[in-house]
Amino acid sequence: MNLQFVSSSSVVSRETGSELGGALVGVPTGSAPAWPVQRVVAPLLGANAPVVGETWLTDQLMTSGHSEGIAWRRSNGLLYGVIELDEHDFPATEKASPLQAASEEAYRRIFRLLDAEQLPYLWRVWNYLAEINVETYALERYRQFNIGRQDAFLECRRGTTGNVPAACAIGLAGGPLSIAFLAGDTPAVPLENPRQVSAYNYPADYGPRSPTFSRGALAYLPGQEILFISGTASIVGHQTVFPGDVAGQCRESVANIQAVIGEANRLGRSGPYSLTELSFRVYVRHAGDFPVVRETLLPLIGNAEIVYVQADICRHDLLLEIEAMASHLLEGS
């Protein structure tokens, strides 16, 4: 079995029948593809098309489904799903804000689906929510999301430290809570960053509950190793560094990615990964910073495949966040 990641500005017309799922990043035009797709509605920066399709292809498609409000497709050992919940459908209670309740419900449904499909291992999660830095119900919305997410992990008897999925959590201008995920029938190897405190051990300064994600993950399919690098920002220890300095934040984020790559190379089974072979998605808070971001990253990551998007980052002082992935074939298989 093989999983392939392709990025294209004409994804819908290039249908091959082997699409597991994917994302449409940008301002969607035309009709949606037939496979589960996460719409990341946010302006692309420096692109020559309004939307880019990022699609996971597999040579062993099996079934599609729509259950628990999740659009999903699976192959033998692999499942991609997308859930969108409108937090307005969740009344505020004494215990939880609408966003917290929606976040908890989304993750509970994901875990129920994965249990039912017997693909229990969550590898990588893409989280998007509106107005991520806005405070409502006396708490920043990202922090509300973190409570709901962690509660679902606890209720579904999943650990909230150590073997947790790679992830990103990004703010969009509007739209529903949108969560896409890749899961498999074998556990991923979680990666942490020696330069950073693990997010699940962040102190309470960053919210009543720590975020439940790893800095990266190595996932395995027969003959293949996939490296996921979580959303990575200018954080050292647990603190933001270079506040107000977008070029400094670029360099520090790349240093953090390099550190996660170092862990992947220490723990992985394939040859070493290098920065320039990765596919990147870069979220830039202020569109006006884009030229500086591009010029700062160019000498560091060269001609790598990069999609730039204007979006909000989960701490008000973070000006950008970078996520990445790569795939290696395993020898002797």
State the catalytic residues.
321
Asked if residue 180 binds ligand 3EB (CB under 6 A), the reply is: no
Q: Which amino acid is at 81?
A: G
Q: Degrees (nearest 5) of the Cα angle 209, 215, 221? A: 120
**Residue 143 burial (CB count, 10 A):** 20
Nearer Cβ to ligand 3EB, position 133 or 224? 133
- Fill in the per-residue mask, 56 to 95: x = in contact with ligand 3EB (CB under 6 A), - = not in contact: ----------------------------------------
Nearer Cβ to ligand 3EB, position 168 or 326? 168
Nearer Cβ to ligand 3EB, position 234 or 327? 234
Asked if residue 314 binds ligand 3EB (CB under 6 A), the reply is: yes
What residues contact 95, with CB distance under 8 A and at least 6 apart?
Answer: none
Beta strands 19-26 and 37-41 are parallel
Place of tokens 């990103």: 168
Nearer Cβ to ligand 3EB, position 24 or 167? 167
For residue 219, give Cα distances in angstroms to 53, 162, 270: 22, 15, 12
Asked if residue 177 binds ligand 3EB (CB under 6 A), the reply is: no
Asked if residue 306 binds ligand 3EB (CB under 6 A), the reply is: no
Rounded CA gap, 257 and 275, in Å? Answer: 8
Asked if residue 127 binds ligand 3EB (CB under 6 A), the reply is: yes
Rounded CA gap, 279 and 251, in Å? Answer: 17
**Residue 157 burial (CB count, 10 A):** 7
Closest CA to 241 of 231, 227, 226, 251: 251
Residues 188-247 that bind ligand 3EB (CB under 6 A): 199, 211, 213, 230-231, 233, 235
Nearer Cβ to ligand 3EB, position 51 or 306? 306
Region from 19-27, 129-137, 153-161, 166-174 binding ligand 3EB, contact rule CB under 6 A: 166-174
In whole angstroms, how close is the CB of 181 to ligand 3EB at the nearest point?
A: 12
Residue 158's SS3 state is coil
Count of residues making up the chain: 333
Rounded CA gap, 242 and 318, in Å? Answer: 9
In whole angstroms, how close is the CB of 213 to ligand 3EB at the nearest point?
A: 4
Region from 153-161, 163-171, 179-187, 259-267 binding ligand 3EB, contact rule CB under 6 A: 163-171
Nearer Cβ to ligand 3EB, position 239 or 274? 239
- What is the size of the binding site for ligand 3EB (CB under 6 A)? 12
- Check: CB of residue 28 under 8 Å from CB of residue 162: no
Q: Which amino acid is at 241?
A: V
Asked if residue 169 binds ligand 3EB (CB under 6 A), the reply is: yes
Region from 75-83, 116-124, 161-169, 302-310 binding ligand 3EB, contact rule CB under 6 A: 161-169
CA dihedral 161, 165, 170, 175 (to 10 degrees): -110
Contacts to ligand 3EB by CB under 6 A: 127, 167-169, 199, 211, 213, 230-231, 233, 235, 314
